[in-house]
Amino acid sequence: MILVLLPHSDYDPTESSVPWQYLHRAGIEVRFATPTGAVAHADPRLVEQGFGPLNPLLMTRKPDLESYRAMLSDPHFQHPMAYADVDPTQFAGLLDADAAKRIALHFFKAGKPIASVCHGPLLFARTLDPETGRSVLYGRKVTGLLSVTMELAAWMITAPWLGRYYRTYPQTVEAEIKATLASPGDFIAGPPALLRDSASRPERGFTVRDGNLLTARWPGDCHRLAAEWLRMLKEAPTS
């Protein structure tokens, strides 16, 4: 059984619904958790409102929106657990979109498969291993939302009418993650060309695997992330 952690709201639908779809089709049980146990819906601008002339660049693609709408009908999505009520020992793997440190620490220490994308690895950067006093990412190789070509670029092109919509945190995701690593070079940016992957072209995506941790940069990597994570789950020992 797999645990998918979601924030209160306003997340990118691709990042959770595409992996959910791969797991669902493989017959793997999925449960959801949110901060308070309330149903968490994706960013309405990515689902319905759009970005006007920038829709081809920023809007969620139709096949991935269909995956999201299918996920909405999952009874477990409609009745999520609260983070505080999660017993992480009951789950074989973790998909993080933005979650709780207690849960994340368990999966790292237990060596269970973990997948995270975009802003998600920030949770791990902020989760300290009590044995070392360092982030659980220390000594790992990882990727996440890129500063210049993704986070800052999206902010600059939308700022004239959306303001700080794409400036979620005081510093960029990449900068905060790098500060917790053994070396800044352990943050892997991937190829410069940002090609969106798909179910038929997962090789266009980019992921970084380090042991039980699989990370990706943005929604355009999610089909590859989902396919590779599914393989990790199938290969993982059962207990």
For 200-215, what is the mean pLDDT?
97
Q: Tell me the per-residue pLDDT of 49-89, one tens digit each, with 9 for 90 and over.
A: 988 888 888 899 999 999 999 999 999 999 999 999 999 99
Domain 2-235 superfamily per CATH: Class I glutamine amidotransferase (GATase) domain (3.40.50.880)
User: In which band, very low, low, confident or very high, does the pLDDT at 98 lie, cut at 50, 70 and 90?
Assistant: low
Cα separation of 113 and 94, whole Å?
Answer: 6
Element of type H or E holding 115 = strand 114-117
190 CB-contact burial (10 Å; exposed 0-12 / middle 13-18 / buried 19+): middle
Strand 207-210 with 213-216, pairing: antiparallel
- The partner residues of 209 in beta bridges, in order of sequence, read 214
Q: Tell me the per-residue pLDDT of 142-177, one tens digit each, with 9 for 90 and over.
A: 999 999 999 998 888 888 888 887 777 788 999 999
Q: Tell me the per-residue pLDDT of 106-149, one tens digit each, with 9 for 90 and over.
A: 999 999 999 999 999 999 999 999 999 999 999 999 999 999 99
Look at the pTM and tell me if it is higher than 0.85. yes
Contact 103, 123 (CB under 8 A): no
User: In which band, very low, low, confident or very high, does the pLDDT at 236 lie, cut at 50, 70 and 90?
Assistant: confident
Amino acid, single-letter form, for residue 199: A
The residue whose two tokens read 């790992």 is 140
What does R_g of the chain's alpha carbons equal in angstroms? 17
The torsion angles phi and psi of 211, rounded to 5 degrees, stand at 65, -120
Cα torsion through 154, 94, 232, 198, rounded to 10: -30
Q: Tell me the per-residue pLDDT of 7-40, one tens digit each, with 9 for 90 and over.
A: 988 899 999 999 999 999 999 999 999 999 999 9
Residue 92 has pLDDT above 90, yes or no: yes
Q: Which of 122, 102, 118 is nearest to 110 (CA)?
A: 102
